[in-house]
Structure 1
């Protein structure tokens, strides 16, 4: 990465000039607090004792959630400071904020690499930002970056302010090669490179292909997103993480809503990031990885299914449903199997056949052993029925 990177050339001028809202907890958080117009008598809940463990709900929470960041710093090795961490209402808030701070509506663009997570495009459209697409190399289910396409598009579209890379990908379940990510970071591209690592804890036996979070110490234009929704099993509390240069993290803090992470969510996050919580996460993750292997083995033996696509680096698998005559992936049959399983057989998976390189594919989340047995049985039944 060139030392000439200038964050002020990437962030919108109105955001750089922003005087952030200063909330009461920015100044003091102890004593008789009569500064934030809170209700001093407490929350209007029928059973206060029941909610005691949820903290002082009548008080505004820590706007920066420093305790959570300290535990994340301990978990994600290689980071220097909590100033490199931002917490959002899920990764979706992080995506939206990054587009808002960097992209001028109706002028700037983002680049994505289909097939990929759909919220990049949704947030771009909401913010009136155009989307440039550099399709992944999908030959034999590789789902890796086509660097020639990426660099060509960056040359054609100098308005691209953010490149979004999903690794492991969704719906591909594939880690992008680190050398390819580094090639973009080491190029003369002067925008932000965002690596979405929502599924990073499910990556095993991939030497040198784990998290790139520590790279933020080397590349000031790199942002790495993670989440508590997947490996931690906390999708319901909506806590996403951005890791980046302190100057960029400060801009995100200046722009976010003052108290974006509520007290109940923060207390659950703290418990999950305790030593006991981490051990439970690792235990559940190992079980899911073991079940992922079982599903792959069974699908490979199942009549009517084709290839298991991608690198299988996440908590799901992507499998083809074949036409029994042509033995080729078939969107029509895959859609029918998906619909029958959901409406008649009580098992809901995801039809992904309309995604680039995913023709005839179902994306199946890894469940418990019992759920997976039921899913495999109903999948076989549905395939036989639609044929």
Structure 2
């Protein structure tokens, strides 16, 4: 039995712009018919113009996908596979986007009136929230995470006080972004913290939980259970196939929410936003053999993460690993001769290692709570050994 929708005060007309709710979406040819003699969409009836494969069979990998036809607008077969994998009841709970970034941008467009409405983010966090806000002419309210001791936990009381105050102003907060596991923190947000924000009696906007790295985190930490098991209709959960599935190049992002919010997102997306090759590769990844490989790769990367953290902490100039081990990266803090975080040293090491050794990590020392930090993606065993070796040499210098 489906849970009773909550919170009781949440309604779509308070969260979504009125012009978006009134929108008559564009109907594309494949919304109506997708079988038979298709002479309705001005496609090329002779087929694609790709030359046949020569000696490399991979050249013809997608030749049988009817590439001269427009793709499905909704990809219901792919969504059914996602439902089975994520224990989601229906394809009507799923939106497919060109990466999570498309879903983020569309959420701004459905919820925020430019020049009036605001959004809330909790730095340090993913930079695209602020980029999308600026593109859409939406003010950003920043409430830093509790960074004491590398906790990187949202200050729920401050968030709720800010949301409640904004509800009484002419410039309400319409979207609240929580990144879990965080980027660049690697730390998952407890579900109780998310519940507390969802339950705010004054807040009529949406809570967005961005779970790009969720597959590397603790089992049961996904906020999808708050949607499916508890019925929070003001919740949107974002995921991607870029990280755990290793499919960054196909650009496939997922949004999970109530059927009503998913319908609004589908109403305003481009008619054929997910290509046929992208959908085909995603279905392969979600097949039984694909999921077996996915789980094996996860196991390897999680083991490599532990080994990498241990090796980094053995270096005298690495003070600590900040955050929790819930993502496919670690956040290593670089210390100076005085044993304190040294931002200048960290940046120089990052630049020199990339320029001279061709080993590239990410400098994150200018973000809140991340002084002198390098964000290092977990690589293969050999890549992890190489980055530790190069860091050891440069840090000694």
Aligned-partner Cα distance in 2 for 1:377–1:52: 41
TM-score of the superposed pair, with normalisation by structure 2? 0.94
Give the aligned partner of residue 85 of structure 2: 75
Give the aligned partner of residue 25 of structure 1: 30
Question: C-alpha displacement at 1:297, in angstroms?
Answer: 0.7
Q: Is the partner of 2:115 in helix, strand or coil?
A: coil
The answer on whether the counterparts of 1:114 and 1:134 sit within 8 Å (CA) in structure 2 is yes
Give the aligned partner of residue 141 of structure 2: 132
Aligned-partner Cα distance in 2 for 1:247–1:24: 23
Aligned-partner Cα distance in 1 for 2:164–2:32: 46
Aligned-partner Cα distance in 2 for 1:141–1:157: 29
The partner residue of 2:305 within 292, 300, 307 is 292
Matched, 1:193 2:204: no
Give the aligned partner of residue 343 of structure 1: 355
The partner residue of 1:142 within 148, 151, 156 is 151
Question: C-alpha displacement at 1:68, in angstroms?
Answer: 1.0
Matched, 1:43 2:48: yes
The answer on whether the counterparts of 2:99 and 2:240 sit within 8 Å (CA) in structure 1 is yes
Matched, 1:316 2:329: yes
Aligned-partner Cα distance in 1 for 2:109–2:393: 47
Classify 1:256/1:318 alpha carbon distance in 2 versus 1 (closer, same or farther; 3 Å).
same
Aligned-partner Cα distance in 2 for 1:212–1:147: 16
Matched, 1:10 2:15: yes
Aligned residues: 380
Aligned-partner Cα distance in 2 for 1:171–1:65: 32
1:1-387 matches, within 5 Å, as: 1-47=6-52, 50-53=60-63, 55-77=65-87, 79-158=88-167, 159-188=172-201, 189-204=203-218, 210-217=221-228, 218-325=231-338, 327-385=339-397
Question: C-alpha displacement at 1:2, in angstroms?
Answer: 2.6
Classify 1:51/1:298 alpha carbon distance in 2 versus 1 (closer, same or farther; 3 Å).
closer
Question: C-alpha displacement at 1:8, in angstroms?
Answer: 1.2
Question: C-alpha displacement at 1:212, in angstroms?
Answer: 1.3
Aligned-partner Cα distance in 2 for 1:175–1:359: 20
Q: Is the partner of 1:281 in helix, strand or coil?
A: helix
Aligned-partner Cα distance in 2 for 1:52–1:143: 44
Question: C-alpha displacement at 1:51, in angstroms?
Answer: 4.8
Aligned-partner Cα distance in 1 for 2:64–2:180: 34
Q: Is the partner of 1:157 in helix, strand or coil?
A: helix
Aligned-partner Cα distance in 2 for 1:137–1:211: 21
C-alpha RMSD of the superposition: 1.2
Aligned-partner Cα distance in 1 for 2:306–2:9: 46
The answer on whether the counterparts of 1:132 and 1:153 sit within 8 Å (CA) in structure 2 is no
Structure 1 residues 23-80: Cα deviation after superposition (integer angstroms, max 9, x where no partner): 0001110001000000000111122782544511100000001111000000002x21
Classify 1:52/1:231 alpha carbon distance in 2 versus 1 (closer, same or farther; 3 Å).
closer
The answer on whether the counterparts of 2:121 and 2:141 sit within 8 Å (CA) in structure 1 is yes
Q: Is the partner of 2:374 in helix, strand or coil?
A: strand
Question: C-alpha displacement at 1:379, in angstroms?
Answer: 0.9
TM-score of the superposed pair, with normalisation by structure 1? 0.96
